[in-house]
Amino acid sequence: MVNDIIADSITRIRNASMRKLDNTQLYYGKIVVSILEVFKQRNFIKDYRVDDKDNKQSIFVQLAYDDRGNSVISELKRISKPGRRIYRSKDELKRFKNGYGIIVVSTSKGVIANDEAYKLNVGGEALCSIW
């Protein structure tokens, strides 16, 4: 059993992109689906789908690559961990990596990117960063 499903999902995506795999399989969790939706909106992944097989749900993620075959994802990190939660105010979420990357934030408005949280004037728990 995985204790931190977000960290496990991030590690699987990072490892698959380093090996230049087309897709990878993740454990299902509503929070993971929310994070993947943000990644998909920002074109860090091509697509994802949730499959239900033998009463166990899993997520299949299709990774994105550029024209030369390099991964779109340069770095993917977990920020807030179960042992140490990291919260950011809206002012701390203004920009990340000069606009090239995003911080995925869990707010009262849902799981959104840092620039959307700044526009909505909300802060929250910084889940992960990607660029």
pTM value?
0.92
Helix, strand, coil proportions of the chain in percent (round to 5)?
Answer: 30, 35, 35
- Residue 100: its pLDDT value, please? 87
Domain map of the chain by residue range?
5-130
Q: Give 34 or 54, the one with higher predicted confidence.
A: 34
Read off the pLDDT band of 27 (50, 70, 90).
Answer: very high
Share of the chain above pLDDT 90, in %: 85
Q: What is the mean pLDDT of residues 48-76?
A: 94
Q: Determine the residue type at 31.
A: I
1 contacts: CB under 8 Å, gap ≥ 6: none
pLDDT of 1 above 80: no
Q: Does domain 5-130 have CATH number 3.30.1490.10?
A: yes
> Pairing mode, if any, of strands 56-63 and 76-78?
unpaired
Task: Tell me the average pLDDT across 26-35.
Answer: 96
